[in-house]
């Protein structure tokens, strides 16, 4: 899979496009915090590591912009815990709970 991950800052999401399908990781910038909100990976992308690539792009953005990642999205949270070697010098806040709806 060679499709690039795009940081669509106006929509606050990382996205990968393949045909009519879009995989995305929605986020929100809150000061120096990158809140990871929701990951959606259509069936067309399943089993290709696209969800992980979206989280890796969030890590790259956090690294470049000196942001703390707050993984409220269950998928992103699990991926980060399963891949601590990918986190490197990025601060990840696993403790701050999401706001109550």
What distances in angstroms separate CA 99 from CA 12, 17, 35, 83, 89, one per listed residue?
18, 30, 11, 26, 26
Asked if the structure places residue 64 within a domain, the reply is: yes
Domain holding 61: CATH number?
A: 3.40.630.30
Q: Confirm whether pTM is higher than 0.85.
A: yes
Task: Note whether residue 97 is domain-resident.
Answer: no
> Using H for helix, E for strand and C for coil, what is the string for 12-40?
CEEEEEECCEEEEEEEEEECCEEEEEEEE
Do 34 and 58 touch, CB atoms closer than 8 A? yes
Give the pLDDT of residue 46: 86
Residue 31 belongs to some domain of the structure: yes
Domain that holds residue 25: 6-87
pLDDT, averaged in runs of 10, over the chain (101 residues)? 87 94 96 97 91 97 98 97 96 93 62
The SS3 call for residue 100 is coil
Tally of domains in the chain: 1
In this predicted structure, what is the pLDDT of residue 2? Answer: 67
Q: What's residue 19's pLDDT? A: 86
């Amino acid at each position: 899979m060679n499709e690039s991950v795009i940081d669509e800052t106006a929509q606050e999401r990382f996205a990968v496009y393949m045909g009519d399908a879009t995989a995305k990781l929605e986020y929100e910038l809150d000061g120096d915090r990158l809140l990871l909100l929701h990951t959606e990976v259509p069936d067309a992308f399943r089993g290709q590591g696209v969800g992980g690539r979206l989280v890796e792009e969030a890590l790259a953005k956090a690294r470049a912009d000196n942001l703390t990642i707050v993984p409220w999205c269950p998928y992103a949270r699990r991926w980060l815990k399963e891949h601590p070697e990918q986190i490197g010098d990025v601060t990840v806040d696993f403790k701050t709970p999401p706001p109550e709806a």
